[in-house]
Amino acid sequence: MEHTKPSYYITTPIYYVNARPHLGTAYCTIMADVEARFQRACGRDVKFLTGMDEHGEKVAEAAEKNGFASPQAWCDSMEPAFRDLWQTLNISNDDFIRTTQPRHIAGVQKFLQVLLDRGYIYKDAYDGWYCRPDETYFTETQVRHHEEARRAAGEEPADPEHPLCPDCDRPLERIQEESWFFKLSAFEQPLLDFYEANPGFIQPETRKNEVVSFVKGGLKDLSISRSTFDWGVPFPFDEKHVAYVWVDALINYLTALGYGSDDESEFSYRWPAQVHVVGKDIIRFHCVIWPALLMAAGLPLPEKVFVHGFLTVRNEETGKVEKMSKSRGNAIAPEEVLELLGVDAYRYYFMSDVVHGTDAPISWGRMRQVYNADLANSWGNLVSRTLNMSAKYFDGCAPERPASWSEPSALRDACDGIFERYAACMQTMDYSGAAAEVLAIVSAANHYIEDMAPWALAKDPEKADELALVIWNLLEVIRIAAELYDPFMPSISAEVRRRLSLDPAPTRDLEAACRWGGLAGGAPVEKGDPLFPRLVDEK
Ligand code: MSP
């Protein structure tokens, strides 16, 4: 494996508190969780961080609109929606940061002071375009290009007082105020050099070109403070200004490690992060602004930013495919999917059926199809049939590992090199590829049952050794598949191990656990209920 440091620090974006989490936000978190679980299974000392992004004008407004006494009270009221959902979805985060926590505020203030001391920020007048819903600034050129593209596509010209946002097409506002600026323009060449020297920094590769051409198009200094509201982190050297919400938010990746506190030992041990998982809408913040801020502060840069696509929904009125989002009113609540699939199948569906890095339309029909084919008919069925036969033919137990366990067989061959194939996919966060590798050994085992017909062997006392070998081979594949599926379906894998009388906790050495021959056998097996009862109703 390429990564050799024991610490593995992985983050999700911190989520805006104004909306409850939906399928899209949960997708991003599950993806990071799969990565965290895989890295733990490879023996790494993982820190997995998620949290909430609580500052900014929109939050203050939402608090008021919803009748809360303070923005803080509003944020507090939203915390359980995130924490509870992550718990339900079996998200194994080690920390949960909120940008209103004192540890975060102290770190942001230190960071701003460092930027000032190193000469990378200055005060000036800001006059430009701002997208309030996205909390993003746009230059005149970006706005003009977008308008030209719209017109070329035959769309109605926008109101010149309120041209449309290049990202989300909502009207922009002209903002004029005194602001602190970050010298982003000084980092054009250093960023290009960095991308060049670190080809793996932006994944998947296709996203990299977009970032490189954006930087080559020229970087303008960035306004990083606001003075017309106060719901934010005050500048330590200019109390009238609060930090621009994106700068505040990005620094969470440092403050969760104790940056800016009395004890920065965890920060020294874990920074830089191994991977930031983000959606494609926030790629510039993570691949341009964030590295530039870190360079300016003299800190090392994260190893990798993994960019995923959107879960999309078709707008029935316009026929357009749209990003699923709370503000567009098209979001599906995770609870609806949980009701249909249950937690593990929910996680499995989004990780196995969505090709990462691309957009994916949500389809209830496809969810049922994948559930029935991969989980009910393949994985669940293999476990049920095998445990049933084992219990029936071996007095409630697994057969002892037979003397001939290492002899070639269709199953042994199918599992040969499985760890390497699976890990190669996992390392590029190609989870659908990794899941397909596991499904291949599960399918091989189901075919093996048909080919070997253990029920026929069981009728012939002279075939007792052969029967033991066949059942042991099948149980061995199940043991290996349960470990490989663990990052995707942790509860089911723990249950399968429990039914096999194995330690329900996942391995910390996945490579060794995938080696053929690990199952000693002889212990009781439990048939149990079907792991994935078939879905029959249409939704
Ligand atoms: N608060 C910022 C992130 C700050 S990180 C320093 C933010 N929050 S968000 O709640 O709007 O979005 C968080 C993540 O959810 C983003 O990565 C975004 O891409 C992802 N998703 C939101 N809707 C999504 C879909 N419909 N599909 C997939 N992911 C989506 O941005």
Burial 420-438 (b: 16+ CB within 10 A, else e): ebbbebbbbbbbebbbebb
CA dist 109 and 236 (Å) reads 6
Q: Which of 40-54, 120-134, 425-439, 494-508 has the lowest mean pLDDT?
A: 120-134
Residues β-bridged to residue 15: 52
Tell me the pLDDT tens digit for each residue of 171-192.
Answer: 999 988 899 999 999 999 999 9
Q: Is pLDDT at 315 greater than 90 in this prediction? A: no
Which residue out of 12, 15, 75 has the highest number of ligand 1 atoms within 8 Å of its CB and is therefore the one to mutate? 15
- Inside any domain, residue 388: yes
CA 202 to ligand 1 center in whole angstroms: 17
Q: Is pLDDT at 417 greater than 80 in this prediction? A: yes
- Inside any domain, residue 487: yes
- Inside any domain, residue 231: no
Q: Is pLDDT at 4 greater than 80 in this prediction? A: no
Q: Is pLDDT at 210 greater than 80 in this prediction? A: yes
Q: Is pLDDT at 302 greater than 60 in this prediction? A: yes
Max Cα-Cα span within the chain: 91
Report pLDDT for 320.
84
Do 270 and 7 contact (CB within 8 A), yes or no? yes
Q: Is pLDDT at 324 greater than 50 in this prediction? A: yes
- Inside any domain, residue 236: no
- Inside any domain, residue 2: no
Mean pLDDT over 517-523 rounds to: 97
CA 12 to ligand 1 center in whole angstroms: 9
- When pLDDT is cut at 50, 70 and 90, the band that residue 294 belongs to is very high
DSSP string, 19-63: S---HHHHHHHHHHHHHHHHHHHTT-EEEEEEEEE--SHHHHHHH
Query: Are 268 and 330 in the same domain?
Result: yes
Query: Are 91 and 156 in the same domain?
Result: no
Q: Is pLDDT at 3 greater than 60 in this prediction? A: no
CA dist 522 and 518 (Å) reads 13
Q: Is pLDDT at 1 greater than 50 in this prediction? A: no
CA 325 to ligand 1 center in whole angstroms: 9
Q: Which of 226-230, 237-241, 344-348, 450-454 has the lowest mean pLDDT?
A: 226-230
Closest atom of ligand 1 to 280 CA is 19
Report pLDDT for 2.
47
Residue of the nearest CA to atom 16 in ligand 1?
279
Query: Are 389 and 502 in the same domain?
Result: yes
Domains: count for the chain: 3
- Inside any domain, residue 479: yes
CA 208 to ligand 1 center in whole angstroms: 19
Q: CA-based angle 159:160:163, to the nearest 5?
A: 75
CA 321 to ligand 1 center in whole angstroms: 18
Query: Are 385 and 415 in the same domain?
Result: yes
Closest atom of ligand 1 to 309 CA is 28
CA 14 to ligand 1 center in whole angstroms: 8
Which residue out of 12, 28, 253 has the highest number of ligand 1 atoms within 8 Å of its CB and is therefore the one to mutate? 28
Residue of the nearest CA to atom 13 in ligand 1?
15
Q: Which of 5-19, 27-41, 129-143, 475-489 has the lowest mean pLDDT?
A: 129-143
Report pLDDT for 339.
95
Residue of the nearest CA to atom 12 in ligand 1?
15
Residue of the nearest CA to atom 7 in ligand 1?
15
CA 21 to ligand 1 center in whole angstroms: 10
Q: Is pLDDT at 239 greater than 60 in this prediction? A: yes
Mean pLDDT over 88-93 rounds to: 98
Domain that holds residue 370: 363-513
Query: Are 299 and 405 in the same domain?
Result: no
The domain that contains 82 carries what CATH number? 3.40.50.620
Closest atom of ligand 1 to 250 CA is 6
Residue of the nearest CA to atom 6 in ligand 1?
250
Token couple for 181: 């600026």
CA dist 539 and 500 (Å) reads 35
Query: Are 374 and 348 in the same domain?
Result: no
- When pLDDT is cut at 50, 70 and 90, the band that residue 535 belongs to is very high
Q: Is pLDDT at 357 greater than 60 in this prediction? A: yes
Which residue out of 50, 98, 282, 324 has the highest number of ligand 1 atoms within 8 Å of its CB and is therefore the one to mutate? 282
Report pLDDT for 317.
82
- Inside any domain, residue 461: yes
The domain that contains 208 carries what CATH number? 2.170.220.10
Query: Are 368 and 501 in the same domain?
Result: yes
Q: Is pLDDT at 326 greater than 80 in this prediction? A: no
Report pLDDT for 188.
98
Report pLDDT for 538.
58
- Regarding predicted confidence, which is higher, 482 or 536? 482
CA 164 to ligand 1 center in whole angstroms: 21
Closest atom of ligand 1 to 281 CA is 19
Closest atom of ligand 1 to 324 CA is 26
CA 13 to ligand 1 center in whole angstroms: 7
Query: Are 348 and 385 in the same domain?
Result: no
- Inside any domain, residue 170: yes
Q: Is pLDDT at 539 greater than 70 in this prediction? A: no
Query: Which of 513, 515, 510 shows the shortest CA–CA distance to 42?
Result: 510
Ligand 1 binding site (Cβ under 6 Å of any ligand atom): 13-16, 24-25, 27-28, 53, 249-250, 252, 278-279, 281-282, 310-311, 323-325
Residue of the nearest CA to atom 17 in ligand 1?
279
Query: Are 400 and 480 in the same domain?
Result: yes
In the listed set 324, 352, 380, which residue is the last one of a domain according to the structure? 352
CA 402 to ligand 1 center in whole angstroms: 52
Do 94 and 47 contact (CB within 8 A), yes or no? yes
Report pLDDT for 177.
86
Query: Are 271 and 204 in the same domain?
Result: no
User: Is cis: bond before 234, omega within 30 of 0?
Assistant: no
- When pLDDT is cut at 50, 70 and 90, the band that residue 5 belongs to is low
Token couple for 25: 């936000």
Closest atom of ligand 1 to 15 CA is 10
- When pLDDT is cut at 50, 70 and 90, the band that residue 206 belongs to is confident
Token couple for 50: 């998620």
Report pLDDT for 276.
98
